[in-house]
Amino acid sequence: MRPSSSPSDGLLGGLSGAPDVDAELSDPAVLQAMLDVEAALARAAADTGILPASAAEAIAEQCRAERYDPGALGRAADATGNPVVPLLGELTAAVPEQARAWVHLGATSQDVLDSALALVAVRALGPLLAHLDAAVDAVAQLADAHRDTVMVARTLGQQAAPTTFGLKAAGWLTGLAEARDRLHQVRAAQPAQLGGAVGTLAAFGPVGAEVAERFAAHLRLAPSPLPWHTRRQPWLDLAAALGGLLVAAGKVALDVGLLAQNEIGEVAEGGVGRGGSSAMPHKRNPVDSILVTAATRRGPGLVATLFAAAVQEHERAAGAWHAEWEPLLDLLHVAGGAAARCARMLAGLQVRPERMRENLDATGGLLLAEAVAARLTPAVGRRVAHDLVTRAAAEPSFRAALLTDPEVRAHLSETELAEALDPHRWLGSADRFVDSALAAVRGASG
């Protein structure tokens, strides 16, 4: 057998995937899943007395991927529109003659590929979720450790008011944890597909539904109340959950990339020897941030393809079903890479509290304008307070303008102004929000 590469092999694939996730997406892995489906089908039929148990085990004995060449099957698939048909020819020839009549009994090609891809998704989500667990653990530690680390909050691209890095990390944490929860739910719900030619399982007679239940049990997939040949909600749920993961990881990556800019310099990615430039020796690029961001740019198109393919005609689709296979595997590939790189990025993230404070103080207290206005409002009203603070903000030194403005000083002492300009006093419920985020994640994992 000629070995077939995984998505992580090659010149570019390793930049978007994760080896342990991609091992479950490789041609041999998909082929093994297809063969696992054929073995489960035979055993389910034997469980219900449709075929001899000896025949089922003879079929299962030949359901090992190393016996077949994925490349050759792929080339042969051009004649039939899917790789199941040529695989069945080789599988039937491989089993003992007395068992050949029972190969693929009652099923159709879509049953095999849909169930196999559900198996592939379940298997690939194992290592993907392990990476996501690591990312959640790492960002939870950042949120806890930096709950009192003040920094600039930025809105619409501009400095806005003080916040804490702990609260920013808590936002990342919540997004990643929610994505993880959805993926666990979708993984547990991945259904087996068994409907036969038109979704009736007529070849099994009155025990068709029982065969389908036993089939799902053998595959350890969720049973489906009826075949979902043209009801593609399982793939839509999976695509949406993977897309959600890419958004959550992409949010972290985007923020890290922006905070790592030289002009800001509040964080940096770790890793010796990473981030070099071919032209500029001084550069240290945030490589994981960049690659996770790249994955987020690919994800929406893949999700959209799966949704576009989901409206399918009659009992079996002509083309829409075929359009799903590669985008689904590609989406698992890029999501796995994003989860792994996000975990690495967060685990090695270098946080620079001193630089955060420098940036916070760079505008001479302007970021506390809202806090000063809030102190003035009880005495002069909200509108007048806003106008007084706006006038002071237009001066070269905001602090000095406040201290020398008689209308401001009539209501606020120097001590009260100092308190208003202390960023630690204008953090609202930031600490409680961090606690809430940590409690939610720890409660879910506990």
Q: Active-site positions?
A: 277, 316
| Beta-bridge partners for 268 | 350
* CA–CA gap between residue 24 and residue 396 (Å, rounded): 61
The Cα–Cα gap between 142 and 163 comes to: 15
Residues in Cβ contact with 244 at an 8 Å cutoff, skipping those fewer than 6 apart: 178, 179, 182
b/e per residue 278-297 (b: at least 16 CB within 10 A): eeeeeeeebbbbbbbbbbbe
Q: Do 367 and 160 meet the contact criterion of CB atoms below 8 Å apart?
A: yes
- How many of the other CB atoms lie within 10 Å of CB of 5? 12
CA angle 285, 172, 145 (to 5 degrees): 90
List the one residue out of 359, 339, 296 whose CA is nearest residue 165.
Answer: 359
Q: Rounded to an integer, what distance in angstroms lies between the CA atom of residue 177 and that of residue 163?
A: 22
- C-alpha distances in angstroms, 102 versus 47, 57, 94, 111, 300? 14, 11, 13, 16, 42
**Distance, CA of 440 to CA of 246 (rounded, Å):** 21
Residue found by looking up tokens 């290592």 in the block: 127
Tell me if 309 sits within 8 A of 230, measured CB to CB.
Answer: no
d(CA 214, CA 206): 14
